[in-house]
Amino acid sequence: MPEDQASPWWSPGRHADRRPFLLARNRITAAVRAWFEAREFVEVETPGLQVSPGNEAHLHAFATEAVGHAGGRTPLYLRTSPEFAAKKLLAAGETRTFELARVWRNRERGPLHHPEFTLLEWYRAGETYETLMADCASLLAVAAEAAGAGVLSFKGRSVDPLAEPERVTLAEAFERFAGIDLLATVQADGATDRDGLAAAAAGQGIRVAPDDTWADVFSRVLVEKVEPNLGRDRATILCEYPVGEAALARPKAADPRVAERFELYACGVELANCFGELTDAAEQRRRFEAEMAEKARVYGERYPIDEDFLTALAQMPQASGGALGLDRLVMLAAGASRIEQVLWAPVAETS
């Protein structure tokens, strides 16, 4: 057991070591809130309990149930994101919202993962996802200034929080870092060539299993070859994901093979995931059903679809939305090495 984990988080000595990070967290949270309020965003609070926790194949939720006065039991889940409720607010007429949302994801714990964490999620009705790229760059600077940090750092890497992020497409990143022509394996209708991508990956020394899907191979190349090279010296905006890897984003008008999705990286750490939001309810249903079919294939379970969300989606205006891991941003701005260092009270350890 590491020395800093030998005593409980509440022991005075260990708390004293963590306290500078925690105070930095408070300053960053206040600065982020002020940044949004200065731009006429409305802070909202949405429920942690939902009919569906989200419908992404590889996200795992905590399940519970509500017991009514008559004894009836209704399955509910702790949300993995506030996205469904936030989009319902857009349908209701809100145009700029943000939330510092407590969210939960099961099967996740490590230096950069915690089962309960804070997700900064914000939406702009009638604005493009390129606007969110500028938001992300500004939030890096806001966090660094609040923490009194000249750089963002993690595991010996650092980035200048004031430098303009580089913008790289997935196709460019796969070619540059893995020597793979990604879009040669994606068709205009979103269909993918599993064998083509598998052969290209194997040719670059990447392990491919016989039962790997196209998405499995894509993820392995991304994790092994691409992500370690992102966010060096300055942040990276990795954009234009293949449509099959962007279940809640709309296709890019200029190239239907890719979607209006980007992720923000700094020091090799993924910080944010942002979309030009899909508002086609029928297409969203199709994507959710495909995701849940994959979840059932891999994990033997599936989550319900929030029908109320799909109804609201059909009335939602065109919008862009982003989700940023506040705890990770605090880590990089404060110089912490583990996510528990920036949490006032971590979740109890489990086996």
Dump pLDDT digits (tens) for 245-256. 998 999 999 999
Would the pLDDT of 3 be above 50? no
Would the pLDDT of 206 be above 50? yes
For the segment 254-304, what is each residue's pLDDT rounded down to a tens digit? 999 999 999 999 999 999 999 999 999 999 999 999 999 999 999 999 999
| Side-chain-side CA neighbours of residue 350 (13 Å) | 8
In one letter, which amino acid is 333?
Answer: A
Report how far apart the first and last C-alpha atoms of the chain are (Å, whole number): 14
CA distance 304 to 52: 6
- Helices within the chain (DSSP H only): 12-38, 83-92, 129-147, 170-178, 194-203, 214-221, 281-299, 307-313, 326-334
For the chain, give the mean pLDDT: 96
Portion of the chain with pLDDT greater than 90, in percent: 95
255 is written with which tokens? 């190239």
pLDDT for the residue numbered 189: 87
Question: What is this structure's pTM?
Answer: 0.94
For the segment 179-199, what is each residue's pLDDT rounded down to a tens digit? 999 999 999 888 999 999 999
Q: Are strands 63-67 and 255-259 parallel, antiparallel or unpaired?
A: unpaired
pLDDT for the residue numbered 24: 98
- pLDDT band of residue 328 (cuts 50, 70, 90) is very high
Q: Which residues of 244-283 are buried (b: 16+ CB within 10 A; e: fewer)?
A: bbbbbbbbbeeeebbbbbbbbbbbbbbbbbbbbbbbebee
